[in-house]
């Protein structure tokens, strides 16, 4: 079995930081975001992994290399002119060949292993197994309607959901996927949706299963979710990277990157990127930060990179 990680997005919700550091390389609790994906895949016995990249390709290749530092065999393919998740996964077809594969969204982080679900896929002989999670309000997600363990219908962002099980960003596919991708048509938002590809598998009589996931699941694509993920991973401790210099008190759940310099008096939810030089003396509230930052009361929301006064 192989792994495919989708990491071609521009990370626009975290601009301008992600104009300097690609979102999949942003450090969360001392590790780059993609390292969590690699750890999950290795836990499932998957070590041959392809990362689908976009305009971030040069930075991704330089940072990740051949994957040996993560204990994996890493390859890259480039998605040109992106048009959705199903479009992206099609670029990995030659890499996957006739093997089964785990498809992982590169900005997702999970609190628990999903190895049991991968094993269930292997044992069942199904064409596809999807990680799903029960949530209180499923209207913002792709929703899986089920009959027992089988997924019988997928509905994208329904106003009146028939199920509370939402698609949770990890999919296991057999080679049957390659047979349905050519028949996809763009959705109303102009993208080739992975949920539409899965629906085609269902419509053609393939066995498609739901794997109910009960751990925490984070999408790190916004400032709020990035900091929420950070707080969860550090468990309300502060985490200070090697060579960082901190003068004054910092709160719990704060992560200070390697080589960063802080002077402080107030900063709040934080996640200070490696190499940052920051003097505060009053406010800066929600944060990510980077480069040289100085403030005497102000900023409030804050996603930054570069010189700020």
Tens-place pLDDT, residues 263-307: 755 555 565 554 555 655 555 554 555 554 444 444 433 333 333
Q: What is the per-residue pLDDT for 306?
A: 38
Torsion angles phi and psi, residue 234, rounded to 5 = -90, -5
Q: In the prediction, which pLDDT does 12 show?
A: 67
pTM of the model: 0.80
203-257 tens-digit pLDDT: 999 999 999 998 999 888 777 777 788 778 877 565 544 445 555 555 545 555 5
DSSP string for residues in 84-126: -HHHHHHTTHHHHTTS-EEEEETTEEESS--HHHHHHHHHHT-
Per residue in 96-116, pLDDT (tens digit) is 999 999 999 988 999 999 999
Contact 4, 50 (CB under 8 A): yes
Residue 39 DSSP SS3: helix
> In angstroms, rounded to a whole number, what is the distance separating the alpha carbons of residues 70 and 74?
9
pLDDT at 182 over 90: yes
- On the question of pLDDT at 165 being above 60, the answer is yes
- Tens of pLDDT, residues 50-70: 999 988 889 899 989 999 999
Task: Report yes or no: 122 and 100 within 8 Å, Cβ to Cβ.
Answer: yes
% helix, strand, coil for the chain, step of 5? 25, 25, 45
In the chain, count of helices (H) and strands (E)? 9, 19
Mean pLDDT score of the chain: 80
Pair 210, 114: CB distance under 8 Å: no
In this structure, the number of other CB atoms found within 10 A of the CB of residue 20 comes to 13
Q: CB-based burial of residue 246 (10 Å sphere; 0-12 exposed, 13-18 middle, 19+ buried)?
A: middle
DSSP code, position 30:
T
pLDDT at position 101, please?
A: 97
């Amino acid at each position: 079995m192989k792994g495919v990680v989708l990491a071609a997005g521009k990370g626009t919700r975290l601009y301008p930081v992600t104009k300097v550091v690609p979102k999949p390389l942003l450090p969360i609790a001392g590790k780059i975001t993609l390292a969590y994906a690699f750890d999950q895949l290795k836990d499932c016995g998957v070590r041959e992994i392809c990362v689908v990249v976009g305009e971030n390709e040069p930075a991704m290749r330089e940072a990740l290399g051949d994957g040996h530092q993560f204990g994996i065999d890493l390859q890259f393919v480039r998605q040109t002119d992106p048009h959705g998740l199903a479009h992206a996964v099609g670029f990995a077809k030659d890499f996957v060949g006739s093997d089964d594969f785990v498809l992982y969204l590169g900005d997702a982080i999970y609190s628990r292993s999903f190895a049991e679900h991968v094993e269930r896929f292997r044992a069942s002989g199904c064409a596809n197994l999807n990680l799903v999670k029960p949530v209180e309000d499923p209207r913002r997600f792709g929703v899986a309607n089920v009959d027992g363990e089988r997924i019988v219908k997928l509905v994208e962002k329904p106003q009146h959901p028939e199920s509370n099980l939402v698609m949770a960003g990890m999919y296991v596919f057999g080679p049957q996927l390659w047979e349905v991708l050519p028949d996809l048509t763009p959705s109303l938002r102009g993208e080739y949706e992975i949920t539409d590809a899965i629906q085609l598998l269902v419509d053609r009589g393939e066995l498609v299963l739901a794997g109910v996931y009960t751990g925490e699941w984070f999408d790190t694509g916004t400032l709020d979710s990035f900091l929420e993920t950070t707080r969860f991973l550090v468990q309300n401790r502060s985490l200070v990277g090697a060579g960082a210099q901190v003068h004054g008190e910092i709160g719990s759940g704060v992560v200070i990157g390697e080589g960063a310099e802080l002077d402080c008096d107030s900063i709040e939810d934080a996640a200070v990127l490696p190499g940052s030089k920051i003097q505060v003396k009053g406010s800066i509230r929600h944060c990510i930060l980077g480069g040289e930052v100085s403030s005497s009361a102000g900023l409030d929301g804050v996603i930054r990179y570069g010189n700020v006064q």
